């Protein structure tokens, strides 16, 4: 059978040494070079051998993983610059207070939850950062260091609170309000959020990490955005780092891994990840039958990262030095993580018998150590000296991002109550014996009574520990985490400057997407706001007609443009530049939204207000990266999301997976997202203008979601009197009177009758897809009459949004022709109407004497008849305002529920029942 194997593969399979003499000669030759001429020469020779091997095509490539030992050897370790004993004591105190906080919360209310084991394993990783590396925002003026960005593992938050308690930033009362944000205020304390949530603790947490995977990808794009700011000469970020402490289980999330190559490609040496390899996740081992550290080493190395393995603590140094035969490395190579976890959970005796008892050589190494010493042998991620060495090396590394794979024990120090136990992740109950054991384990100066009553421990301010703690943070610029909000103000242009064409469209045909792109192009030209705009696309710029921006502002590239683009002579030429402004993220909505988040929170993270516009296929937004948007919302972003080609029927042929009928429902669930579905360019101009003012001038923590369509139709002018109503959610677009023409409020308020009539009349006439209305019977409805006029035709009120408003207008025309007066309202935002209605209801429920009337109610009060609503979205969207409409008026909603499919726009609208004919039918039904 071997004969059929490719001989090169056969060579790979050959693992036995057929000539040990020759092998040792080669080995010794290398060692001799190393000794005589140093590592550089040794590396050169190895490279040369590799080149030779490749050219001889022997089918060999180096393994991506290295032995299960530290990357940094003892002699490469720098001198530890701190006071080791004090730092260890401090870490122990943090561990205790974090534990006490979680256990006490759960003693009081068993439902609160919280985690102990994760921080117990990560404490030393956090503390080394706090004492030596994490720089806070410091200084003023142009030389200001605006601070490192630190992403904390979410369920290790108790440790961060414990530190803030020692630093004096949180009180004992605050710790007692862990996970009790609502009652805390009544008790005069700060409620401590479960995980890092800037929304809940806006002066404290910077980055939401509670949903696994989002912190990692976000950290990469924040690091890249800092490069972007530097390269565009907006802010020098060169002295700042992005740190992320994440879990080994968390690395399984697709988002964690999806941008590794981007980080390497961009040479993000401002980024350091620390992956806490405690070998466990929630249910059990991360890789019981393998080794997660090896796997991650291969993955990150392959992706182009600098990998530092931090596997063993200093006590192992002596063992490795004495292990001349390599018995330890061999034993580790045969120990899978499931077994390593068992070693963590068991005592020194067990480890002596089971690990060191495997063979003579290992047993000899363990001679002279007591069982207790064996038990205390530290893994790398628990040894402050080794951690410091790894961090120092990472910060000095040039040209690549670094990942530190830190080997730890989950539930470190929790003894028989939790260390290495399968269930340790959720362990939050300790009996007295466990507490005393923990106290003894970490030498905490607590009496038995204090320990068993879970007293928080804070050394006196003048103690060596506290002096040290404070001095280290002073040296690093202050406390962390800390969220700042002060940012510069940017002058914004007047709406007419960039959107005059849309406000005064005078019936010109265009799609709202075209109008938006034109607006964006104009905004980019503004000398003050222009440079702060960050256009973001995920390989769809051409789809949305934005290719002209490539040349106008350039595509950001950290290496400029190293090729002559094929279309170099064209006005739309594909131009990449170091100071390019567009972030072209390729086909990665996850990456694009992460970029958007970085730009939209720049006002806070960097003190520099930026304004991102991310334009994408609306279906690939909230639905695809909804959780990233939710996390961004937590981080209080300011920016625009543009859901283009939106609506279930507007996109025509693209079919089921592309047609979005629900993004507005998603958007409505996000409290700080203002979502709009404008029908006309003028409406959009007003909304964009409001957004710019809200976010850049008023500095409100809101972001805007606007849907854009690719359907061309005549765009009416929008009178100034309507602007405020557009923002609030709806306005009376026009009244189509049954027989005699009546004035629309637009005409009446604008005072320009002929003009407005002309524009509005064009709608529908110019629309190519006018459906034939199968109306067969003349209606004669008793009792329906308008309140706005003194005529007596039956009346109906039609609400429509986005592209479907054009169908609504055509339906109104047909109804009018059949003797029904139709009031047409353009609804610009269902969610804003619903929110306003809810606010009124809440005020009433709270007994407010001044509770207002819902805006949508007052708006339709000037119309008459039953109400019919139609949108390009699911029924639930117009249903969201039902409770706020007059109860005595029938309300019927049309929507596009179900899966999308491919066909022409007209066929789709007919199929989903949102075309002109369907609206007419619904109006008649409502009138019956
Ligand atoms: C997206 C998502 N899924 C699930 C969870 C629930 N969860 C919180 S921590 C955790 C296990 C984390 O394991 P690991 O990353 O190894 O961290 P460790 O606690 O071991 O340090 C899980 C499943 C979550 N927070 N986010
Ligand atoms: Mg883990």
Q: How far is C-alpha 225 from the geometric centre of its chain's CA atoms?
A: 14
Q: What share of the chain is helix, strand, coil (3-state, %, to 5)?
A: 45, 10, 40
> Residue 247: CB within 6 Å of ligand 1?
yes
Closest ligand 1 atom to Cα of 155: 9
Cα gap 150→132, rounded to integer Å? 13
Listed as own residue / partner, the contacts of 695-699 with beta carbons closer than 8 Å and 24 or more positions apart are: 695/611, 695/638, 695/639, 696/489, 696/490, 696/492, 696/529, 696/532, 696/609, 696/611, 696/638, 697/489, 697/492, 699/485, 699/487, 699/489, 699/603, 699/609, 699/638
At 659-696, the pLDDT tens digits run: 999 999 999 999 999 999 999 999 999 999 999 999 99
Cα gap 403→305, rounded to integer Å? 7
Give the containing element (helix H, strand E) for 554. none
> Residue 276: CB within 6 Å of ligand 1?
yes
Q: How far is the CA of 97 from the centre of ligand 2 (A)?
A: 21
Strand residue runs (E) in 547-702: 555-556, 576-577, 583-584, 611-617, 640-644, 673-676
- Rounded to 10 degrees, the C-alpha dihedral 614/617/622/624 comes to -110
Averages of pLDDT over each 10 residues, the chain, 928 residues: 40 68 94 94 93 91 90 96 98 97 94 93 98 94 88 97 98 96 89 97 98 98 98 96 98 98 98 98 97 98 98 96 93 95 95 96 95 96 98 98 98 91 90 95 97 98 98 97 94 98 97 98 98 97 94 96 95 96 98 98 97 97 98 98 96 92 98 98 98 97 97 97 98 89 44 36 37 33 41 90 97 96 98 98 94 96 97 98 97 97 96 98 96
Of the listed ligands, the closest to the CA of 209 is 1
Cα gap 295→280, rounded to integer Å? 14
Tokens of 564: 């002559």
Q: How far is the CA of 532 from the centre of ligand 2 (A)?
A: 40
Q: Are 136 and 417 in contact (CB under 8 A)?
A: no
Choose the residue to mutate in 98, 276, 282, 627 for probing ligand 1, maximizing ligand atoms within 8 Å of C-beta. 282
Residue closest to 454 by CA, chosen among 102, 88, 171, 91: 102
> Residue 131: CB within 6 Å of ligand 1?
no
Q: How far is the CA of 153 from the centre of ligand 1 (A)?
A: 9
Cα gap 424→439, rounded to integer Å? 18
Q: Are 410 and 419 in contact (CB under 8 A)?
A: yes
| 3 state DSSP class of 241 | coil
Q: Are 655 and 900 in contact (CB under 8 A)?
A: yes
Tokens of 160: 């961060």
Cα gap 870→892, rounded to integer Å? 9
Choose the residue to mutate in 155, 426, 590 for probing ligand 1, maximizing ligand atoms within 8 Å of C-beta. 155
Task: For 487, list phi and psi in degrees, rounded to 5.
Answer: -145, 165
Closest ligand 1 atom to Cα of 627: 1
Q: How far is the CA of 453 from the centre of ligand 1 (A)?
A: 29
Closest ligand 1 atom to Cα of 122: 21
Tokens of 616: 């994408």
Closest ligand 1 atom to Cα of 248: 16
- Half-sphere exposure (CA, 13 Å, Cβ side) for 348? 12
> Residue 409: CB within 6 Å of ligand 1?
no
Q: Are 411 and 120 in contact (CB under 8 A)?
A: yes
Cα gap 133→829, rounded to integer Å? 47
Name residue, tokens 């809440």.
842
> Residue 342: CB within 6 Å of ligand 1?
no
Q: Are 694 and 700 in contact (CB under 8 A)?
A: yes
Q: How far is the CA of 1 from the centre of ligand 1 (A)?
A: 47
Tokens of 259: 């941008």
> Residue 249: CB within 6 Å of ligand 1?
yes
Residue closest to 404 by CA, chosen among 272, 567, 282, 572: 272
Task: For 509, list phi and psi in degrees, rounded to 5.
Answer: -85, 130
Of the listed ligands, the closest to the CA of 156 is 1
Q: Which residues pair with 244 in a beta bridge?
A: 151, 273
Task: For 450, list phi and psi in degrees, rounded to 5.
Answer: -65, -40
Closest ligand 1 atom to Cα of 282: 11
Q: How far is the CA of 205 from the centre of ligand 1 (A)?
A: 19
Tokens of 389: 């060495």
Instruction: Count other Cβ atoms within 10 Å, centred on residue 137.
Output: 19
Per-residue pLDDT, 740: 56
- Half-sphere exposure (CA, 13 Å, Cβ side) for 129? 29
Residue 224's contacts (CB-CB under 8 Å, 6 or more residues apart) are 262, 263, 266, 268, 595, 598
* Cα separations in angstroms, 881 against 17, 101, 878: 78, 44, 6
> Residue 388: CB within 6 Å of ligand 1?
no
Q: How far is the CA of 150 from the centre of ligand 2 (A)?
A: 19
Q: Are 127 and 87 in contact (CB under 8 A)?
A: yes
Classify the C-alpha dihedral 898-901-907-908 as positive or negative: positive
Tokens of 349: 């005796």
Residue closest to 493 by CA, chosen among 512, 521, 534, 517: 521
Closest ligand 1 atom to Cα of 246: 15
Closest ligand 1 atom to Cα of 253: 1
Q: How far is the CA of 421 from the centre of ligand 2 (A)?
A: 12
Considering only CA atoms, which residue is closest to atom 23 of ligand 1?
282
Closest ligand 1 atom to Cα of 276: 21
Q: How far is the CA of 250 from the centre of ligand 1 (A)?
A: 6
Q: Which residues surround ligand 2, an ion (CB under 5 A)?
A: 247-249, 278, 280
> Residue 282: CB within 6 Å of ligand 1?
yes
Per-residue pLDDT, 786: 42
Alpha helices (runs of H) in 693-743, residue ranges in sequence order = 723-728
At 310-324, the pLDDT tens digits run: 999 999 999 999 999
Choose the residue to mutate in 159, 249, 424 for probing ligand 1, maximizing ligand atoms within 8 Å of C-beta. 249
Strand order in the sheet with 149-151: 149-151, 242-247, 271-277, 402-407, 306-310
Tokens of 208: 């939401």
Cα gap 911→901, rounded to integer Å? 10
Per-residue pLDDT, 739: 65
Choose the residue to mutate in 425, 628, 634 for probing ligand 1, maximizing ligand atoms within 8 Å of C-beta. 425
Q: Are 174 and 189 in contact (CB under 8 A)?
A: yes
> Residue 427: CB within 6 Å of ligand 1?
no
> Residue 278: CB within 6 Å of ligand 1?
yes
Residue 752's contacts (CB-CB under 8 Å, 6 or more residues apart) are 719
DSSP 481: S
Task: For 433, list phi and psi in degrees, rounded to 5.
Answer: -60, -45
């Amino acid at each position: 059978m071997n004969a059929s194997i490719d001989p090169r593969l056969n060579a790979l399979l050959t693992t036995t040494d057929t000539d040990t003499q020759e092998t040792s000669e080669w080995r010794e030759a290398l060692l001799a070079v190393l000794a005589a001429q140093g590592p550089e020469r040794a590396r050169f020779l190895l490279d040369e051998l590799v080149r030779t091997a490749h050219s001889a095509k022997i089918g060999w490539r180096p393994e991506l993983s290295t032995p299960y030992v530290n990357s940094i050897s003892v002699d490469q370790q720098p001198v530890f610059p701190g006071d080791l004993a004090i730092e260890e004591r401090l870490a122990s105190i943090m561990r205790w207070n974090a534990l006490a906080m979680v256990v006490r919360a759960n003693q009081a209310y068993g439902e609160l939850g919280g985690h102990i084991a994760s921080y117990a394993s990560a404490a030393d990783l956090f503390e080394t950062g706090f004492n030596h590396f994490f720089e806070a925002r410091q200084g003023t003026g142009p030389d200001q260091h605006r601070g490192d960005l630190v992403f904390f593992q979410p369920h290790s938050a108790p440790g961060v609170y414990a530190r803030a308690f020692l630093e004096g930033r949180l009180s004992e009362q605050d710790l007692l309000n862990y996970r009790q944000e609502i009652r805390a205020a009544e008790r005069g304390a700060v409620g401590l959020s479960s995980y890092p949530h800037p929304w809940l603790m806006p002066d404290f947490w910077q980055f939401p990490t509670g949903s696994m995977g989002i912190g990692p990808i976000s950290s990469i794009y924040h690091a890249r955005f800092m490069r972007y700011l530097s390269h565009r000469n907006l802010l020098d970020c060169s002295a700042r780092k992005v740190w992320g402490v994440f879990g080994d289980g968390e690395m399984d999330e697709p988002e964690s891994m999806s941008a590794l190559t981007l980080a390497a490609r961009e040479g993000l040496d401002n980024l350091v990840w620390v992956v806490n390899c405690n070998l466990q996740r929630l249910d059990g081992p991360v890789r019981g039958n393998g080794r997660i550290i090896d796997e991650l080493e291969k993955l990150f190395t392959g992706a182009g990262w600098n990998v530092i393995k931090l596997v063993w603590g200093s006590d192992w140094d002596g063992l490795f030095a004495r292990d001349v035969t390599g018995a330890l490395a061999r034993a580790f190579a045969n120990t899978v993580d499931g077994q390593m976890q068992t070693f963590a959970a068991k005592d020194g005796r067990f480890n002596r018998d089971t690990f060191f008892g495997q063979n003579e050589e290992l047993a000899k190494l363990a001679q002279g150590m007591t069982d207790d010493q064996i038990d205390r042998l530290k893994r790398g991620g628990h040894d402050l000296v080794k951690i410091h060495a790894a961090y120092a090396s990472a910060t000095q590394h040039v040209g690549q991002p670094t990942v530190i794979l830190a080997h730890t024990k989950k539930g470190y120090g929790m003894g028989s109550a939790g260390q290495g136990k399968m269930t340790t992740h959720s362990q939050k109950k300790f009996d007295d014996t466990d507490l005393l054991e923990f106290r003894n384990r970490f030498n905490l100066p607590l009496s038995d009574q204090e320990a068993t009553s879970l007293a928080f421990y804070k050394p006196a301010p003048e103690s060596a520990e506290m002096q040290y703690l404070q001095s280290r943070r002073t040296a690093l610029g202050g406390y962390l985490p800390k969220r700042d909000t002060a940012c510069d103000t940017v002058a914004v242009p007047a709406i007419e400057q960039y959107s005059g064409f849309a406000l005064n469209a005078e019936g010109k045909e265009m799609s709202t997407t075209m109008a938006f792109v034109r607006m964006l192009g104009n905004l980019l030209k503004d000398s003050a706001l222009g440079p702060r705009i960050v256009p973001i696309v995920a390989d769809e710029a051409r789809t949305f007609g934005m290719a002209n921006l490539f040349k106008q502002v350039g595509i950001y590239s950290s290496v400029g443009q190293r090729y002559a683009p094929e279309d170099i002579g064209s006005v739309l030429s594909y131009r990449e530049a170091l100071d390019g402004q567009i972030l072209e993220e390729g086909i990665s909505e996850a990456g694009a939204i992460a970029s958007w988040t970085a730009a939209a929170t720049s006002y806070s993270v960097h003190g520099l207000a930026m304004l991102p516009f991310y334009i994408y296929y609306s279906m690939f937004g909230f639905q695809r990266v909804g959780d990233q948007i939710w996390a961004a919302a937590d981080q209080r972003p300011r920016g625009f999301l543009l859901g283009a080609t939106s609506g279930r029927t507007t996109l025509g042929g693209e079919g089921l997976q592309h047609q979005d009928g629900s993004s507005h429902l998603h958007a409505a669930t996000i409290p700080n997202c203002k979502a709009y579905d404008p029908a006309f360019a003028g409406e959009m101009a007003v909304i964009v203008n409001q957004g710019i003012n809200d976010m850049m001038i008023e500095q409100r923590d809101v972001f805007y979601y606007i849907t854009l369509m690719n359907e061309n139709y005549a765009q009416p002018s929008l009178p100034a009197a309507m602007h405020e109503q557009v923002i609030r959610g709806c306005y009376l677009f026009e009244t189509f009177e049954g027989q005699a023409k009546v004035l629309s409020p637009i005409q009446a308020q604008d005072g320009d009758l002929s003009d407005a009539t002309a524009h509005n009349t064009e709608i529908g006439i110019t629309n190519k897809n006018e459906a034939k209305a199968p109306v067969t019977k003349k209606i004669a409805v008793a009792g329906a009459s308008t309140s706005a006029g003194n005529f007596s035709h039956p009346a109906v009120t039609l609400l429509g949004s986005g592209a479907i408003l054009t169908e609504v207008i055509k339906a109104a025309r047909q109804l009018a022709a059949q003797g029904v007066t139709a009031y047409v309202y353009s609804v610009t935002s269902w969610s804003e109407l619903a929110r306003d209605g809810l606010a009124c209801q809440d005020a009433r429920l709270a007994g407010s004497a001044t509770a207002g009337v819902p805006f949508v109610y007052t708006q339709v009060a000037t119309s008459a008849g039953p109400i019919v609503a139609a949108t390009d979205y699911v029924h639930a969207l117009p249903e969201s305002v039902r409770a706020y409409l007059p109860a005595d008026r029938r309300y019927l909603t049309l929507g596009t529920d179900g899966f999308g499919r491919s066909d022409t726009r007209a066929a789709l609208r007919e199929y989903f029942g949102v075309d002109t004919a369907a609206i007419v039918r619904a109006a008649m039904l409502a009138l019956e």
